[in-house]
Structure 1
Amino acid sequence: MNTKAFASHADTEIKKVSFEQLSEHGWAYTAEGDPNTGIIIGDDAVLVADTQATPAMAADVIRRIREVTDKPIKYVVLTHYHAVRVLGASAYGAQQILASQDTYDLIVERGEQDKASEIGRFPRLFQNVETVPAGMTWPTMTFTGKMTLWLGKLEVQLLQLGRGHTKGDTVIWLPGEKTMLSGDLVEFDATPYAGDAYFKDWPQTLENIAALKPLALVPGRGPALKGDAQVQQGLQVTGDFIRDVWTQVKAGADAGRDLKTVYRETYAALKPKYGHWVIFDHCMPFDVTRCYDEATQHRDPRIWTAERDRQMWETLEG
């Protein structure tokens, strides 16, 4: 049996970027399944949600923003703590870097390990990684539950609607335009990464998003979702995947089967339905490992280190 290349080391193809307006103030920077960035252009300032993985990559986001507005980029929002979402933050020169207190706590607890782990997993996504400043990307302001920003007369809400992709997940919501930047709580045509997830909570969190009735949504990966039908589809398929992984893994764990057996069974069961999604082979070992943990003895996600990544991959894919 051929051993799969570790994580996404075989993924070398540069993706085509799209930059499009979704509502009066909401914009989406998407790249064929690579991590997305959401942009809100307010009356007097710009907000950027999820920064790209390095300052060099963030420069392309800034270039696109400058093609449509010269307003200052005052706010960067971290929807969660993952390195691929936060390490480009320094490029924007923002006055404030905003995150939930739960996200801040996760950076304290595991930021350094996560940074080393992610850079090791996905070399292409960390182009010019030497441009990342030393140390962590620290929020300058945190909130719990809800925070409202006013970009002139434009109301922007930062909301914690529940745990899912991580403990600290934040969505950015424009109530007047029914436009949302969801971070990795929602994916489309891309496999949800769930190595730090709460499988039992995630579907309810998606229902909480649906209750707001978004008409446009920038997912964490995949194309921007436009109109009620597309948004609902994005919420549905993300929830289906999370429920399907949980159902398979929980049944295997309850039957006393070991992780490697459960992984093989879950992979085989889900590949026909989801195998065409971006990063399916990358995510599945991490997703099943976390799900097995949650179904057995670890309520909260264990910290991924570069060494733990390799050991896990060797166990499941070696």
Structure 2
Amino acid sequence: MKTFIGMLIVIVTVHSGWAQEPYEIQKIADGVYVFIAEDPTKDVVNGNSILVIGDNGALVFDSGTSLREAKWLVSEIKKLTTKPVKFVVNSHWHWDHWIGNQVFTEAYPQCQIIAHSSTRNAMMYQYPRFVKQALLTQGDMIATFKKELETGNHEGGDPLTTYEKKRWARTYSDLVKDSAETRQYRETLPTMTFDKKLTLYMGAREIQLVFLGNANTRGDAAMILPAEKILVTGDILVAPVPYAFGVSPRSWIGVLKNIASMDVHLIVPGHGAVQTDKSYVQNVIALFESSYEQVAAGRRQGLNAKDAITKVDIEKFRKIFAGDDEAKNWAFTNYYVKPMLDRMYKELGGELGE
């Protein structure tokens, strides 16, 4: 049990997964369950999913990164409620949040899929490229990981570290599982879109879908349960380390500050643990602002991207977000530092485009 602004918050673990299952199930309010995906620092990630049960149906926020994960979600949801899933919300276009759409429409043929209009447009453009790329590269990637694990060396000859061997083995296993179902993917796009806000009612249960601004993508949908004071963010917020691929840095900072000012008791991120206070949000804001200010300073000095980024010192934040954990440190470097500082430099030069 954890306290939040004077209130008693009780999060109950309904199903402890991860050892054999893709999610841990937590009940965070009456009729509200979070499916916490395992390890957000690994290479082949899966996003959190949320089940909201109303008087006359249910809603699922994010449908999983693969068909097998989505099938597991459906089977567990049917244990929690006999009510039909009427809505599936996709927080954004990244694969780990919507590949499971087809499984939900097969299990619940009447369900509507909802997303921001920009997200649907991105899905239409990105999905064929994703499947084509997966079919072209999965075999080579699997072969490379297998060879490096067998030889204990990188392709260039340098030996794998102990940590790399462990990480490579896990990634190899995940890729093999994914490759078996890639040809079964069927594009299942949103059937409803919104631009600013959409309010749904399932009996007395009110659900607000909102667009807070460009952040992790240019169509991030967040969900607010006003009665329960719960905010579900998608990848606007990810723990324990932010994901910063293809982001809008300056606007994202503003979105996070908006979240920090909201009257909510629980924040469910797109990956990672449920947040019971605003401390993690504040840490992310501080990290982003420090990074942005330092990259901007390099720009003002006329430095090129490489030199401007090299001068950025955010090691104090690395300690906050990653500590001595190898996986978190790897993620901090590869999921935050490398993509984010590059995006910031480009944005400051007006090079991100529309």
**What is aligned with 2:246?**
196
Query: TM-score if structure 1 supplies the norm length?
Result: 0.79
- Displacement of 1:90 in angstroms is 1.1
Q: How many residues align?
A: 284
**What is aligned with 2:233?**
182
Q: Partners of 1:289 and 1:197 in 2: how far apart?
A: 10
**What is aligned with 1:36?**
48
Flag the 1:125–1:98 CA change in 2: closer, same or farther, 3 A: farther
91, 94, 98: which one aligns with 2:103: 91
Q: Which amino acid aligns with 1:52?
A: G
3-state SS of 1:200 partner:
helix
Unaligned runs of 5+ in 2: 1-18, 142-170
Query: TM-score if structure 2 supplies the norm length?
Result: 0.71
> What is the 5 A alignment of 1:90-239?
90-93=102-105, 94=108, 95-113=111-129, 124=174, 127-132=177-182, 133-134=184-185, 136-189=187-240, 191-226=241-276, 230=277, 232-239=278-285
Q: Write out per-residue CA displacement over residues 62-120 of structure 1, whole angstroms, 9 at most, x where no aligned residue.
A: 23322321211221111111111111211112411100112122223444446667997
Q: Write out per-residue CA displacement over residues 181-226 of structure 1, whole angstroms, 9 at most, x where no aligned residue.
A: 110111232x212222111111221232233311112111111123
- Displacement of 1:43 in angstroms is 1.5
**What is aligned with 2:70?**
58
- Displacement of 1:16 in angstroms is 6.8
20, 28, 33: which one aligns with 1:22: 28
Flag the 1:158–1:116 CA change in 2: closer, same or farther, 3 A: farther
- Displacement of 1:251 in angstroms is 2.0
**What is aligned with 2:145?**
none
Q: Partners of 2:61 and 2:175 in 1: how far apart?
A: 17
3-state SS of 2:70 partner:
helix
Q: Partners of 1:137 and 1:72 in 2: how far apart?
A: 19
Q: Write out per-residue CA displacement over residues 231-276 of structure 1, whole angstroms, 9 at most, x where no aligned residue.
A: x113212222222322222222332223233343337645344344
Q: Write out per-residue CA displacement over residues 15-45 of structure 1, whole angstroms, 9 at most, x where no aligned residue.
A: 8732111112322111243521122111222
Q: Partners of 1:272 and 1:285 in 2: how far apart?
A: 17
Q: Percent identity?
A: 25
- Displacement of 1:130 in angstroms is 4.3
3-state SS of 2:342 partner:
helix
Q: Partners of 2:72 and 2:191 in 1: how far apart?
A: 24
The answer as to whether partners of 1:187 and 1:234 remain within 8 angstroms in 2 is no
- Displacement of 1:52 in angstroms is 1.4
**What is aligned with 2:13?**
none
3-state SS of 1:80 partner:
coil
Flag the 1:219–1:268 CA change in 2: closer, same or farther, 3 A: closer
Task: Check if 1:74 corresponds to 2:86.
Answer: yes
Unaligned runs of 5+ in 1: 1-12, 302-318
Q: Which amino acid aligns with 1:20?
A: Q
Q: Partners of 2:89 and 2:215 in 1: how far apart?
A: 18
Q: Which has the higher contact order (CA 8 A, sep 6+)?
A: 1
